[in-house]
Chain A
Amino acid sequence: MSLTLFNVVLAVFIAICFVGANAAYLVWCERKGAGLFQRRPGPMENGPWGLLQPPIDGLKLMTKQLLIPGGVDKAIFMVAPVLAMFPALISFVTIPFSNSIVAHPIDVGVLMIFAFAALGSMSLLVAGWGSRNKYSMISSVRAVSQTVAYEIPLMITTITIVMISGSLNLGDIVQSQLGGFWHWNIWPLQKQVGFNLLMPISFLILFVCSVAETNRAPFDLGEAESELVAGFHTEYSSMGFGLFFMGEYANIVIGACLTVILFLGGWSCPIGDLGFFPFTHNVGWFLLKIYLIIFVFIWIRWTFPRTTIYGLLNLSWKYLIPISLFNLLLTAGLLKVF
């Protein structure tokens, strides 16, 4: 694919549309899911099954007044929501939706996603500080300490997968898992590493980490309403708040994409390529898998109560990091042996 201006603009446009549509309708899914798990109907007034709710919500957000509290650092206050949205958008550049649908298959794709996730955590800090509100600041410090803590097991687990597939390119990682669900990295049986019993556990670690990285319940300590009003975006109204929200849902999609690509075989068909349409390796399987993962995210959010900040940090530093480090060593050893 030649890198002309037109292609670049088109890719950016599609990425923004995808992120925007996802953010809007994942909110709807979230509310419907919440209704399902709490035995109430959820949004149902606007359109069939409340399907018109997201555009109407968007309209409402855009017509609201953008309030800037007195005494804040205006530039920083305004930059923070943009900074929350932009890294999430950039990460979509390298995510392979199928063999051919990928904006730019960069060789260090995994690193790129982590790098821009790190930029995202910077935006939380800037928002918390820029709001000039003690609750916002406590919330952003919590959110960032949580992000930093869970980045470590997330990266170690990812390195394990990178060692098995021998590439940092997300497309290559999927390529190494093609050919049926028994080739996926989630199973302990793989050609290269023999029998690594810890692989399902390391999938669990990655999943827990991506829930924690996106600051979602039961790890949404940064947004603990009963203690911190609403979290780092307390002072934001109108589309400023809307951008934080979109960024959050874009991050959820990226977390789901990463989980699917690293452990669940990306765009590969679960029963191997049979040669006719639904059973070829195509983008449909990828979307199906990421939305299943997102459904589990929603399911967990509305099922489990919030943990404490100590429980959260202890889980990462005392359990997830040692287990993922052990798995890294074990995988390295098995790679050497087999």
Chain B
Amino acid sequence: MTPVPPPTLFSADGMVGLVFLIMIGVTLTGGIIAATAERLIRALSGIVICFTGVAGFYYFLNSPFMAMMQILIYVGAICVTISFAIMLAAPEEKLKKSPTNLLSGPIGFMIAALIFAAMTMLALKTDWQASAKIASGSVREIGIHLLTTYSMVFELISIVLLIAIIGSIVIARGGRN
């Protein structure tokens, strides 16, 4: 077996690898900003970056529909709602205080290190195999599956969302006289 030369940057594989690394970078950066930011609004911006990175992964893994939905729903709806909540609830910016309890010190660090070690072992010891492509990831495929295989789940989620909408309307109307 001849060894495969590593792909150069300007070949198709090289660009794919580069894009993948960029996605990892974006997602990780966003997550770290979200976790360590002292200001709430910066943490929110971190989440936005993180979600955009995840959307990039979906697109990269041949699910453009999921990628667009990720941006549309998580960034366009959820993050906007969170930012409204921040603006309405905390007009004066308070810097985050580090929590001081049992888990915040060395014990927390040890648990995190343990989990990290376990995950790394798992990733390294597993004999990874590229699974066969299940479906084309197109909207048509997703629609067919939603209305046949997963129709029960789909309907249940719809009902839950409907209840949430009605509930929010009831709460909002309650304040008006």
Q: Does A312 reach chain B (CB closer than 8 Å)?
A: no
Contacts of A115 in B (CB 8 A): 55, 68-69, 71-72, 75-76
With A5-B10, A119-B75 as contacts: A111 and B45 at CB distance below 8 Å: no
B39 within 8 A of A: yes
Instruction: List residues of B (114-173) whose CB comes within 8 Å of A's CBs.
Output: 138-139
Q: Chain A: which residue is nearest B138 at the CB level?
A: A107
Q: Which residues of A contact B64 (CB under 8 A)?
A: 106-108, 112
Task: Find A137's partner among B39, B48, B87 (CB 8 Å cutoff).
Answer: B87
Contact B69 A111 (CB under 8 A): yes
Q: Would B39 and A112 count as touching, CB distance under 8 A?
A: no
Q: Mark B61-101, 1 if CB is under 8 A from A, else 0.
A: 00011001101100111011001101100000000000000
Task: Report if A73-B41 is in contact (Cβ < 8 Å); known contacts: A5-B10, A119-B71, A129-B87.
Answer: yes
With contacts A5-B10, A5-B15 taken as known, whether A121 is within 8 angstroms of B42 at the C-beta atoms is: no
A104-132: contact bitstring with B at CB < 8 Å (1 yes, 0 no)? 00111001101111110110011001100
User: A125 near B80 (CB under 8 angstroms)?
Assistant: yes
Q: Which of A114, A119, A144 has the most CB atoms of chain B within a 10 A radius of its CB?
A: A119
Which residues in A have their C-beta under 8 angstroms from that of B69? Answer: 111, 115
Smallest Cβ distance from B75 to chain A, in angstroms? 6
B75 touches A118 (CB 8 A): yes
Interface residues on B, range: 20 to 34
**Residue A168 at the B interface, CB < 8 A?**
yes
CA distance A224 to B105 in the complex (A): 51
* CB within 8 Å for A116 and B84 given contacts A5-B15, A122-B76, A122-B79: no
Residue pair B71, A116 in contact (C-beta under 8 Å):
yes
Which one of B52, B65, B69 has the highest number of Cβ atoms from chain A below 10 Å of its Cβ? B65
On whether the beta carbons of A141 and B80 are closer than 8 Å, the reply is: no
Contact A79 B139 (CB under 8 A): no
Question: Once the chains are docked, how many angstroms separate the CA of A3 from the CA of B13?
Answer: 12
Cβ–Cβ < 8 Å partners of A106 in chain B: 64
Q: Is A12 an interface residue (CB 8 A)?
A: no
User: Does A68 interact with chain B (Cβ within 8 Å)?
Assistant: no
Give the residue name and chain of the B residue nearest to A112 (CB): B68
On chain A, the residues within 8 Å of B76 by CB distance are: 114-115, 117-119, 121-122, 151
Interface residues of A (CB under 8 A from B): 3, 5, 73, 75-76, 79, 106-108, 111-112, 114-119, 121-122, 125-126, 129-130, 137, 141, 144, 148, 151, 168
Which 9 A-B residue pairings sit nearest by Cβ, starting from the closest?
A118-B76, A115-B71, A111-B68, A115-B72, A115-B68, A125-B83, A108-B64, A108-B65, A108-B68
Which B residues fall within an 8 A CB radius of A?
10, 12, 15, 39, 41-42, 45, 48, 52, 55, 64-65, 68-69, 71-72, 75-77, 79-80, 83-84, 86-87, 138-139
- Assuming A111-B69, A129-B87, A137-B87, what are 12 further A-B pairs, CB within 8 angstroms? A5-B10, A73-B41, A79-B45, A107-B64, A111-B65, A114-B68, A115-B68, A115-B71, A119-B75, A122-B79, A125-B87, A129-B83
